[in-house]
Structure 1
Amino acid sequence: MTTYTPPTQDMTFLLHDVLKADQADIPGYDEMSPDFTSAVLDEASKLARDVLAPLNRVGDEEGCTLENGVVRTPTGFKAAFDQMREGGWTGLDCDPEYGGQGMPYLLGTAVGEMWVSANMAFNMYQGLTHGAYSAIHVHGNDAQKATYLPKMVTCDWTGTMNLTEPHCGTDLGMLRTKAEPQGDGTYKITGTKIFISAGDNDLADNVIHLVLARIAGAPEGVKGISLFIVPKYLVGEDGSVGAANGVSVGALEEKMGIHGNATCVMNFDGAVGTLLGEENKGLKAMFTMMNEARMGVGLQGYSQAEAAYQAAVEYARERLQGRAVTGMENPDGPADPIIVHPDVRRSLMDQKSFTEGARALTFWGAQLIDRAHRNGDAEAHGLISLLTPVIKGFQTDKGFESCVQAQQVFGGHGYIEEHGMSQFVRDARITMIYEGANGVQALDLVGRKLAADGGKPLMGFFEMVKGFIKEHAGDAELKESLLDPLKAASKDLQAAAMYFMENGMKNPNAALAGS
């Protein structure tokens, strides 16, 4: 049985010593004093450590069940979800106009890491709700916002995103789900969606589905896709929950991991929906949710690695096997703890360096999002757009690898279920696949983001690196250990980027094969 202790000290160091959040010229950051953020992180850590983490294995072993068309979540999930809602955690960084607390996205990211490390499958119920909330907040009309957002902020109603169909995943232009106008501002939605995370649950009173569909007569391909709000239960003008809509769970997917989250086949049989945003502009609206989700999945990658690392380092300190090559370290015992062995220490240090670096990159990305949204900063928007596929792709590839390394520390004990290490590996595996498989992230980076806005975000990134090297050029110790390697890596990256940009048009297969 693994345990988890949120790394609040490391988080505080990043917030205030590295990012200097309380000194940033971003609206709302003046409230981010060390005392305030420490208080928030400390309270969040108690919920993560004492409530969510103990349910992680329960969710893995029990999974979800489908009873009479309703998903039943694992034992303890409902009580924990209620506790999270009652504490106001689900609306931490949401708009105060709709009941949120209005905290910066950066602080929500720090808290979110704890939830994911403690219990990734559980956190997906509120995480997907947050994404759906964001899409409605940006693209919804006043009536839609007033109807749905207050209940989604509190997670009295949860949310989902419905894109994938049996015959199309990445290529959404092939989707067949149709939307028929009813003449009263509503549409009848008909079709089947698969792989829908948190597609149903017994945690909330309603589930608000965001569904991609094609209106009759719309253009073929992605230019003819629209986005619709389709609630599980119809919502009255007064906001009350009414009769069941034409939405049902066809089946629960049998998955490798994240057993505590209900991954559903969703059937829409003439379900009543309302258009979110403009006709045939559905992908634009959905990508508000998708881009947030990709940042969240990048966070999942290193958060699972953090939890697995904690278990591995604890085991390495306790497991006695062999003697240190330089002489016994535990003379009173039959053997030394395996942490004395160089290969084990190397593995643990690899894991720790990854999680600390990934946390720093993710927190910086969250601050860029705050700067883009709260300051209207176009440069910050361009930079985080460039970094999003990197954060999602690299941190999930490396996060999975780190979970495997942590499992390896246990040897054969990591392969059996007693110690729970296989769950980290199995849960982390999905992060490389959903919200755009990592190969798609690479194509997005090379095919779109490198040359976006004439390459300004990319050049801006290189200038940041160049400026950092120049600023610290007088530090001899830093020069050898960091600045010279960083300069060499920056040159290599610039050369690779130039190759991709120069060959993208004339030899796209070569460019994308190397993406």
Structure 2
Amino acid sequence: MRVEEGFQIAPYPETHPYNDDPVLPNLLRRLVPENIFSVIESDLIRFGNDIKDDIRPNITHLVHPPRLVQYDQWGRRIDRLETSEGWKKLKEIAIREGIVSIPHERKYGESSRVYGFFKAAIFSSDCHVVLCPIAMTDGAARVIEMCGTEGMKRDIRSRLISRDPKIAFTSGQWMTERPGGSDISQTETVATLQSPNSSSGSPATGAPYKLDGFKWFSSATDSEVSVALARTGPLSLGSRGLSLFLVPLRLPLLPTPSPNSISNGILVHRLKNKFGTQALPTAELSLNNTTAYLLSPLNKGVRTIAPVLNITRVHSAVGGVGGLSRAFAIARSYATVRTVNDSASKSNVLLKDVPLHISTLAKIGVTYQALAHFTFGIVALLGKSECEVASKEEEQRVRLLTPVMKGFVSDRGVAAIEECMGCLGGQGYMEENVIARIIRDVSVERIWEGTLSVMALDLIRASKGKLGIQPLIDWANIIISSTPFKLISSGNLSNAIDSLKSALTTIHQIFTTQAVVSPFIPRPFLFLVGHLAASIFLLEHATWAFNTDLSTAGYAREAQVFKRWTEDGLELLRLDVVKASKIADLKGRHRDDLEIIYGNKGDVTAKL
């Protein structure tokens, strides 16, 4: 038989990343004021058309991994980084579309963050992780706005938030070093103050320093600048001896750096060979008498970079939501064209008419809606915080829930994308289908800016702040108490809401009765808080749908999503795992864990 003969699988129709999404339009309608909704939505529709009709068919296939040329034919070190034409085009698109500019222009006030991140969400699965340097550029622009010199704001930040690719800068973020990974307290890079009259800087750009060290994982190596941590105090001070610096990759930085050379004493040791994000130029860099400018107060680098981490962690969650949105769209679309044999009717039917298959897609849909509402709920709070209209309680909720969102969304998102791959059978496993690349690219969100364990420990730290966990509990109780009785009764939501109340009580008990939290609690607690927060955001949306002009079917659907998500997570909300983690015999549990992992081989602890 010729390949053209016999059964042919119909290609699934491409979908619009905003119009055809089952979550984003109503979510946007709830989050932004009515007077700007149509303006923002029309731009999202236009950009979605560009993604569907131009970027997907004409640009994404031009993206290839970068190439590093370290030496020229005469043996001279040149460190020329060559990125693909597709990567450059996608980067220019992100700049022109204002994904960094929109939240910093603040034309739409606190809604500017929502607007910018909606554009990021619909673009993320098609951009080959070009939003990674965009995320770090966003963070760098914010930290310069908060503590940079007037010269930095005028000359550097203006380019970081520019919509003109000809003059716009992007920024890297260099923290990771070989001794520490996420533990920046072991940073080896040393900063040495230069004379104020040194030719390496000017007062307008901050105090000039020279950096010497090695950055083990530095994304966005094709950027113009980077923010980097370096040691200005003794190693004994750990993270309390670090300062934050602005580092030009090429000199002179202004008016326009040379595009093909890394000349500021920065040598590229090698490009990273990664599981995913293969188009992104990530490198090992050595800094050799590299000119840099002090950005933070001396030895306050970790505190100064915290806003950058908050922003990049939100970008990480938005990337996970965007990846799941595209994978789910493909799985939904495929079900409308793929036929299978139905044993009951003895005829061929579409996958969308097979109840078992649709139940799988529905479960993915519930997860997608929960993660999207959680993420954009935090985005809305971030917008309020940056516009200085957030209350102290809202600021604390951002602090508490940002690491939860980053860890929870990235973990659950990747698992849901893998389910989408399975919904296409063997076709889903093919490289021609973008789900495989999405899984690889989104998997980095589980690690980038902190692993799940790092996020769990950060949640515990945040809960020890002045306001503690109370703003989260108070907000959840307000949403629960404002749920209309008719919605509860018509949607049969009583059991789900009772589970939330019980979870809130236990959370409160854990952090008001324990001076020391068991080391086994943080991860289960993060999952608990993540599932709970997503439930509350879904309940808030269902109440909004009930109170607006949405049809009965509309609010009933939103109520059903809340009910399914909450009840499917009852094993978390009952806190069995968290309660079991409050173990008195910590040494005994640790010993048992070691034996499970390494077997009975004597003193394993001594070898670790």
TM-score strictly above 0.5: yes
Cα deviations by residue, 1:275-319 (Å, 9 ceiling, x for unpaired):
002010101111111011111111111211111111112222222
SS of 1:104's equivalent? helix
State the AA in 1 paired with 2:432: E
Which stretch shifts more, 222-231 or 240-249?
A: 240-249
> Of 141, 152, 165, which residue of structure 2 is paired with 1:133?
141
State whether residues 67 and 81 of structure 2, in contact with CA within 8 Å, keep that contact through their aligned partners in structure 1. Answer: yes
Tell me the equivalent position of 2:409: 395
Tell me the equivalent position of 2:53: 50
Cα deviations by residue, 1:84-122 (Å, 9 ceiling, x for unpaired):
4345454122237xxx89771111111111121322412
Note closer, same or farther for the CA distance 1:347–1:164 as it changes in structure 2 (3 Å cut).
Answer: same
Say yes or no: does 1:225 pair with 2:242: yes
SS of 1:226's equivalent? strand
Shift of the alpha carbon at 1:219? 5.6
Tell me the equivalent position of 2:212: 190
> Of 444, 447, 453, which residue of structure 2 is paired with 1:439?
453
> Of 28, 33, 37, which residue of structure 2 is paired with 1:34?
37
State whether residues 136 and 149 of structure 1, in contact with CA within 8 Å, keep that contact through their aligned partners in structure 2. Answer: yes
TM-score w.r.t. the length of structure 1 is: 0.86
Cα separation, 2, equivalents of 1:510 and 1:182: 47
Cα separation, 2, equivalents of 1:497 and 1:354: 26
State whether residues 94 and 101 of structure 1, in contact with CA within 8 Å, keep that contact through their aligned partners in structure 2. Answer: no
Tell me the equivalent position of 2:87: 77
SS of 2:439's equivalent? helix
SS of 2:85's equivalent? coil
Note closer, same or farther for the CA distance 1:355–1:140 as it changes in structure 2 (3 Å cut).
Answer: same
State the AA in 1 paired with 2:89: A
Which stretch shifts more, 251-260 or 66-75?
A: 66-75
Tell me the equivalent position of 1:382: 396
Cα separation, 2, equivalents of 1:278 and 1:476: 52
SS of 2:251's equivalent? strand
Tell me the equivalent position of 1:366: 379
> Of 212, 224, 227, which residue of structure 2 is paired with 1:210?
227
State whether residues 65 and 278 of structure 2, in contact with CA within 8 Å, keep that contact through their aligned partners in structure 1. Answer: yes
Cα separation, 1, equivalents of 2:327 and 2:150: 44
State whether residues 121 and 260 of structure 1, in contact with CA within 8 Å, keep that contact through their aligned partners in structure 2. Answer: yes
State whether residues 214 and 286 of structure 2, in contact with CA within 8 Å, keep that contact through their aligned partners in structure 1. Answer: yes
State the AA in 2 paired with 1:37: I
Gaps of 5+ in 1: 24-31, 201-205
Gaps of 5+ in 2: 1-10, 71-78, 197-206, 526-608
Note closer, same or farther for the CA distance 1:258–1:45 as it changes in structure 2 (3 Å cut).
Answer: same
Note closer, same or farther for the CA distance 1:513–1:13 as it changes in structure 2 (3 Å cut).
Answer: closer
State whether residues 327 and 417 of structure 2, in contact with CA within 8 Å, keep that contact through their aligned partners in structure 1. Answer: yes
Note closer, same or farther for the CA distance 1:146–1:225 as it changes in structure 2 (3 Å cut).
Answer: same
Shift of the alpha carbon at 1:57? 5.4
> Of 265, 273, 280, which residue of structure 2 is paired with 1:261?
280
Tell me the equivalent position of 1:179: 191
SS of 1:179's equivalent? strand
Tell me the equivalent position of 1:107: 115
Cα separation, 2, equivalents of 1:320 and 1:250: 52
Cα deviations by residue, 1:145-184 (Å, 9 ceiling, x for unpaired):
1120111112621101101011211211011001011122
Cα separation, 1, equivalents of 2:160 and 2:257: 13
Tell me the equivalent position of 1:63: 65
Note closer, same or farther for the CA distance 1:229–1:194 as it changes in structure 2 (3 Å cut).
Answer: same
State whether residues 165 and 194 of structure 1, in contact with CA within 8 Å, keep that contact through their aligned partners in structure 2. Answer: yes
Note closer, same or farther for the CA distance 1:292–1:89 as it changes in structure 2 (3 Å cut).
Answer: closer
Note closer, same or farther for the CA distance 1:280–1:219 as it changes in structure 2 (3 Å cut).
Answer: farther
> Of 81, 84, 101, which residue of structure 2 is paired with 1:91?
101
Note closer, same or farther for the CA distance 1:448–1:38 as it changes in structure 2 (3 Å cut).
Answer: closer
Shift of the alpha carbon at 1:80? 3.6
Note closer, same or farther for the CA distance 1:88–1:410 as it changes in structure 2 (3 Å cut).
Answer: closer
Cα separation, 2, equivalents of 1:318 and 1:240: 51
Shift of the alpha carbon at 1:218? 7.1
Percent of counterpart pairs with the same letter? 22
Note closer, same or farther for the CA distance 1:398–1:348 as it changes in structure 2 (3 Å cut).
Answer: same
State the AA in 2 paired with 1:499: I
Tell me the equivalent position of 2:177: 165
- Cα RMSD after superposing both structures: 2.7
Tell me the equivalent position of 1:490: 501
State whether residues 56 and 119 of structure 1, in contact with CA within 8 Å, keep that contact through their aligned partners in structure 2. Answer: no
SS of 1:317's equivalent? coil
Tell me the equivalent position of 1:427: 441
State whether residues 250 and 264 of structure 2, in contact with CA within 8 Å, keep that contact through their aligned partners in structure 1. Answer: yes
Cα deviations by residue, 1:236-257 (Å, 9 ceiling, x for unpaired):
6x64547931123221111111
Say yes or no: does 1:280 pair with 2:286: no
Cα separation, 1, equivalents of 2:512 and 2:239: 25
Tell me the equivalent position of 1:318: 337
Which stretch shifts more, 175-184 or 85-94?
A: 85-94
State whether residues 173 and 222 of structure 1, in contact with CA within 8 Å, keep that contact through their aligned partners in structure 2. Answer: yes
Note closer, same or farther for the CA distance 1:268–1:478 as it changes in structure 2 (3 Å cut).
Answer: farther
Cα separation, 1, equivalents of 2:126 and 2:490: 36
State whether residues 233 and 245 of structure 1, in contact with CA within 8 Å, keep that contact through their aligned partners in structure 2. Answer: yes
Cα separation, 2, equivalents of 1:313 and 1:514: 32
CA radius of gyration, larger in: 2
Cα separation, 2, equivalents of 1:415 and 1:452: 49
Query: Aligned residues, how many?
Result: 485
State whether residues 393 and 467 of structure 2, in contact with CA within 8 Å, keep that contact through their aligned partners in structure 1. Answer: no
State whether residues 247 and 293 of structure 2, in contact with CA within 8 Å, keep that contact through their aligned partners in structure 1. Answer: yes
Note closer, same or farther for the CA distance 1:352–1:454 as it changes in structure 2 (3 Å cut).
Answer: closer
Note closer, same or farther for the CA distance 1:475–1:415 as it changes in structure 2 (3 Å cut).
Answer: closer
Please list, as runs of the form range in 1=range in 2, the aligned pairs for 1:430-509 lying within 5 A after superposition: 430-449=444-463, 452-469=466-483, 472-475=484-487, 477-478=489-490, 480=492, 482-503=493-514, 505-509=515-519
Tell me the equivalent position of 1:308: 327
Shift of the alpha carbon at 1:495? 0.9
Cα separation, 1, equivalents of 2:59 and 2:275: 15
Cα separation, 2, equivalents of 1:494 and 1:110: 34
SS of 2:469's equivalent? helix
Shift of the alpha carbon at 1:501? 4.9
Tell me the equivalent position of 2:579: none
SS of 1:121's equivalent? coil
Cα separation, 2, equivalents of 1:310 and 1:394: 21
Cα separation, 2, equivalents of 1:87 and 1:297: 19
State the AA in 2 paired with 1:106: V
Shift of the alpha carbon at 1:358? 2.0
State the AA in 1 paired with 2:497: L
Cα separation, 2, equivalents of 1:84 and 1:295: 17
Tell me the equivalent position of 1:26: none
Note closer, same or farther for the CA distance 1:48–1:380 as it changes in structure 2 (3 Å cut).
Answer: farther
Cα separation, 2, equivalents of 1:198 and 1:101: 29
TM-score w.r.t. the length of structure 2 is: 0.74
Cα deviations by residue, 1:424-458 (Å, 9 ceiling, x for unpaired):
21112111111111121122223433665243322
State whether residues 212 and 289 of structure 2, in contact with CA within 8 Å, keep that contact through their aligned partners in structure 1. Answer: yes
State whether residues 469 and 508 of structure 2, in contact with CA within 8 Å, keep that contact through their aligned partners in structure 1. Answer: no
State whether residues 305 and 351 of structure 1, in contact with CA within 8 Å, keep that contact through their aligned partners in structure 2. Answer: no
Cα separation, 2, equivalents of 1:309 and 1:344: 13
